[in-house]
Chains A and B, each alone.
Chain A
């Protein structure tokens, strides 16, 4: 299943890529494949913006705006004017 097209904020800078392969290893949707000693973005629309690739790229080749993806969290954020938050942060326990 693929969500909306053309919205993912994933940016990949091939010049910084050293071909270590970590991004391909951590991505749960197979967005990266390794070819010719570098990572390549296959289909950006598969990206769910979880941020695992950016977090594990030691060379700063990847940026992606990640955040809480649930509608109620974003509505909360719209109402309070702050960051999306589902009211289930560190203190109150679970959700999502």
Chain B
């Protein structure tokens, strides 16, 4: 909604427009200006300082499905004491994203326009189509943003460009989209630099700390299967034609309980941690190598086993590591769909072969052939 007259008057909610705007809740006729803005429009004030709860929430997001419902209400927020000339930053309604942004805005008086991204972060939501041109156009109008600011510019995080077409937004709303830096932490420097992002601010990185913070959500879902695996191992070694022998279940199964755990960690933790130094570009190969190395170390601790179980160990566990590592393609900042598709064609074939051969070796062990 563009209305240059209202915009130029600098006011918000003049009497004649109040009735037209559902979001406008003013009845007062106080002189237009920054102070009036927050009382007349449906604007939530928010601090740039994160509380202990906010910080604890950020930790929980990294560990569990808590993140699936960690949202803020979409709409227009005021950080500090913004005026009609203050910048408008656009964000997603995933609270972790919103908190990252507002804490980067400490000491800057700004507006934050939160789009409804169903609780998903900017980059992923842009890829999925909720952080979109259409949603931005809708929110500009729903929040009466054109009445709140005199200027016609928005700062959208650069990664939001996946979902937002700057040229379409300006055509539909008159608001010029400036793509800000990739990282909220660079916002102050971006403003200081005259609203120009340097090449450094435009590039996404993926240092070890960023990779590690993502690993719990790789490890935990896989370990949910661990009790099932452990039960299968214990039954396999304990079951005899005469009944279940608990001693055999434990002594036979223990090495495999350890191997299973190590295989998952090799793929879902060691591989992401040492991603750049592990050879090959395909994640399935990186994971397989990490798994193989982990097996070499663990097997030093384990006393000799029959040939059939040896074959099983070397086929099965590196394949598990490979599969776990492959899942990390969904978390990186540099893997693309075409590559993952190509890699999967080979990997799935490999997993089927390794799985079948593992099964045969177990049958051979149980039947006492090898």
Contact = CB atoms under 8 A, between A and B. Distances in A.
Interface in A59-88: 65-75, 78, 84, 86, 88
B155 interface: no
A65 to B, nearest CB: 7
A4 B118 contact: no
Contacts of B69: 93
A34 B123 CA distance: 25
29 contacts: A2-B334, A3-B334, A3-B336, A4-B338, A7-B338, A9-B338, A22-B166, A25-B158, A25-B179, A26-B158, A26-B179, A28-B203, A48-B336, A50-B159, A52-B158, A52-B159, A55-B161, A55-B163, A55-B165, A56-B165, A71-B340, A74-B337, A74-B340, A74-B344, A89-B128, A90-B128, A93-B67, A94-B120, A96-B120
A94 B204 contact: no
Interface string B118-134: 11110110111010000
B162 A5 contact: no
A94 to B, nearest CB: 5
B343 to A, nearest CB: 7
Interface range for A: 35 or more
A38 B128 CA distance: 30
B340 A2 contact: no
Contacts, number: 157
A72 B161 CA distance: 25
A71 B326 contact: yes
A4 B342 contact: yes
B281 A5 contact: yes
Contacts of A4: 281-282, 338-339, 342-343
A11 B204 CA distance: 22
Nearest to A69: B337
A89 B161 CA distance: 19
Contacts of A92: 68
Interface in B146-203: 158-159, 161-167, 179, 182, 197, 199, 202-203
Given A7-B342, A93-B119, A65 B130 contact: no
